[in-house]
Structure 1
Amino acid sequence: MANAQQLVRDVMRVMAERKHYEFVMRASSATYQAPAEGNVTLNSVSPEHTTVIEGVTLAMRVRSSLTEHGEAQDFFYVSADSNVFAKLPPGTPGSTAEWMKIPRVDSVDEIGNVYGAIMGLHDVTAQMVVPTHYLLPMLEAGGTVTATQEVPFLGQRAMHHMLDLDLAKAAGQLSNAYLRGEARRRYQADPGAAWSTPKVELVVSPGNELLRLTLRAAMDKKSEFPMEITFSKWGEPKVITPPARAPEFPAGR
């Protein structure tokens, strides 16, 4: 059976070497749906990054709603040089241009709930589709492989690894302050809850290219929150250009 630490290191090494990839994410539960697709360029994979998009260029479309019972709409994001830009649905409060720059603030109260929803949608999605900067380091620090088997995947053979992620253990092992804080925050919100030990599946090619990542975390005792990301076109660059002009969101801040 594979060792979680070596498995993650091999996958991250290849991701850093290939740099470019496309992704399609399916995320659906009774209370949350946010399918996404896009492109990523890993300009650098630093062990000391302080946000999920540091050293990353990202372009993606996420279909979601700003409110729990609102109609799903398309949100377009471009992230470059640690800046986040968003093309928001028509009628979004505070939006005055086709593209808006979404600043990072210390407190959502400073800028409003709409901002929190927009930036939150970006960050939650980025945490999954840029796993080098979030989930994979946590797996290296607190993951355990529970099963491994060879499987067919899109016409090729691949290895399917199933892992348990102990967030409390990860929080104690991670050297990166940002990730350590994230793991601790998720664990301490409800120690012992099922979602504090999520299940992760990695489908990996013989050359250690990540083909699919699945995260299964319990939202409560009755429902599960599955997220599945398929990765493709490794090493095939695609130009991602941030908007030349974008006023800061929300207008008049």
Structure 2
Amino acid sequence: MKDITVAIDGFSSTGKSTIAKQLAKKLEYVYVDSGAMYRAVTLYAMQHQLISNTFFYKDKLISVLDIISLKFKFNTDLGFAEIYLNDINVEKEIRNIEVSEFVSKVAEISEVRRKLVEQQQQFGTNKRVVMDGRDIGTVVFPNAELKIFMNASAKKRAQRRFEELTKRGDKVTFDEILKNIEYRDYIDSTRKDSPLIKANDAIEIDNSEMTIDEQFEKIYTIVINKINSLK
């Protein structure tokens, strides 16, 4: 079976990470959550008082990028790799609503994007990788053999995110989540550096009315068909 790179892009909370993890496990590929990398940098900025609702010291964040270490370590119990920020597991911390509120602002910074894109491209040197994010098919892996673009209505995405966060005990409201998603959509789509756009050769999947199982079966079939076509 031919080794390929699978690039998955799309709007926030469209289930990119879920499908990417499933595909990587089924194919026995490496899974890389590029969004987790931006979230980890955002968490660092928050921890060091470089960003808040009232200020953002971009230059200071840029000046310390070289001392921010990001690594993925495979968790056998979970079946996927978790992200470590300066050797500390921050997989749970980066998923909270506070990080979500600031991550698009951090991801706008060209210096941050350059640093992380370089690392992401190294992960795909030998193919056999499934990576999800905002610019994987357009910037990180423009020559990926298969590109998927995930989409769903903002309200559907907000409902899924709301259920995910409340299930783990976070105190959030639906309106708060919806507002955050709509704001991130705007920032991600209009930023000057690597905006969120569908690659010309990407296959768009609207999963608004799909279950997780239905989504996996549809996309896995697309992946296998692509691999078979390249033999």
Q: Same fold (TM over 0.5)?
A: no
Q: Which protein has the larger Cα radius of gyration, Structure 1 or Structure 2? A: 1
Higher helix share: 2
Q: Which has the higher contact order (CA 8 A, sep 6+)?
A: 2
Q: TM-score, normalised by structure 2?
A: 0.30
Q: TM-score, normalised by structure 1?
A: 0.28
